[in-house]
Amino acid sequence: MKPSFEIAVFEGDGIGPEIMKPTLELLDRIAGRHGLSLSFNEVPAGAAHYARTGEALPVSSLEAARAADAILLGAMGLPDVRYDDGTEISPQIDLRKELDLYAGVRPVTLAAGQSSPIAGAKGRRVDFVLIRESTEGLFWSLGKGEVSEDEARETLVITRKTSEKLFRFAFNLAAQRKVNGRGKGRVTCVDKANVFRAFAFFRSIFDEEAARHADLQADHAYVDAMALRMVQAPWDLDVLVTENMFGDILSDLGAGLMGGLGLAPSADIGDRHAVFQPCHGSAPDIAGQGAANPFAMILSAAMMLEWLGHQNDIGAAVEAGSALRRSVDEALSRSLALTRDLGGQASTEEAGAAVVTMLEDVAA
């Protein structure tokens, strides 16, 4: 009997539906090849849905996400659709909090031959992971900030309970990457412990977890120094773990190292649930033009397959995710069907077709 998984699909706003279409087609193809069965439950949420109904994340959609084996999300938010307080519609953040998705995983990789704005990266292997705490930090204050005529206040919150889970996740990932030959077995805590007591607290919990992993290396870096290191020597990094806002900023820097947000996948993972989505937004300025880059969405789907495989001890799912990721890497290495953001002229459909072609090569 085939291993089967139900995937809750949020197409979202803007280019979301356009990048989701080739991704689901590829998932169907790779699942069949590896003896898996995937069913897709498309559920509504997002800014456009809010504009029509007054609901950004319907209760029924949240329950569908809670019941699914994994959640695939395109892009959400539109700059001209906002709540009364002026903030944008962001159901993806609501999902992180409702499902306790504390570990935001942002891989930064350069495929062989792939161009990068970092001149020194040519010929070097760049493969590290930024883990962003996704439920607390400065984002804890979402919708709770205090604003008066003379001042505004937001609150940063770091708890021991969430930090312990976050650091345990980071060290386990570093161990897994070391075994797979992708990592150096090192975890770096990125903070601002020299200025803020909250980050000194964050670092102390990290050190407690590090003491439980004598087989791995552990070190620290201030966030500003890490931003410099990411530009000067990204090939020296392995697993970085940090607070929510710092992670939000550094993950975009990581995307820049790869050539743009169109190549940046992500996952928000908890103890039971996980959401997989590209790091980029809904890009309404190019929606409907068939010009959106689907690679980050496809790479996020590859992460989903690998996560499902590891969670359920199903090697075929891990292999399927790896094959899908390698197919995108190969398309990038050969500069096949590059979209406008990567300096090419390929359409979304053509970029997806290039991954299908590379999937045949990888399988061979």
pTM value?
0.93
247 and 150 inside one domain? yes
Among 258, 281, 306, give the residue marking a domain's end.
258
15 and 131 inside one domain? no
CA angle, residues 75, 80, 84, in degrees to nearest 5: 105
Distance CA 150, CA 345 (A): 49
Among 223, 258, 293, give the residue marking a domain's end.
258
- pLDDT, tens digit, 9 for 90 and up, residues 253-281: 999 999 899 999 999 999 999 999 999 99
At residue 95, the pLDDT reads: 94
335 and 234 inside one domain? no
- pLDDT, tens digit, 9 for 90 and up, residues 185-243: 999 999 999 999 999 999 999 999 999 999 999 999 999 999 999 999 999 999 999 99
Q: What does the H/E/C string look like for 193-242?
A: CCCCHHHHHHHHHHHHHHCCCCCCEEEEEEHHHHHHHHHHCHHHCCEEEE
253 and 330 inside one domain? no
354: number of Cβ within 10 Å? 23
254 and 269 inside one domain? no
Asked if 221 contacts 109 with a C-beta cutoff of 8 angstroms, the reply is no
241 and 123 inside one domain? yes
3-state secondary structure of 103: strand
For the chain, percent of residues with pLDDT exceeding 70? 99
- Quick one: residue 304, left, alpha or beta (phi over 0 = left, psi -120 to 50 = alpha)? alpha
- Which residue from 134, 157, 133 is spatially nearest to 145, judged by alpha carbons? 157
Among 258, 288, 320, give the residue marking a domain's end.
258
79 and 212 inside one domain? no
- pLDDT, tens digit, 9 for 90 and up, residues 113-166: 777 888 777 778 899 999 999 999 998 887 788 999 999 999 999 999 999 999
94: Cα within 13 Å, side-chain hemisphere: 19
Beta-bridge mates of residue 277: 266
121 and 247 inside one domain? yes
252 and 120 inside one domain? yes
131 and 94 inside one domain? no
What is the domain count for the chain?
Answer: 2
Q: Indicate which CATH number applies to the domain containing 54.
A: 3.40.718.10
37 and 101 inside one domain? yes
Domain, as residue range, for 34: 1-108+264-364
Q: How far is CA 251 from CA 130, 266, 276, 279, 303, in A?
A: 7, 9, 15, 8, 16
Residue 310 structure tokens = 């590891």
238 and 347 inside one domain? no
Host H or E run for residue 146: strand 146-147
Distance CA 241, CA 333 (A): 29
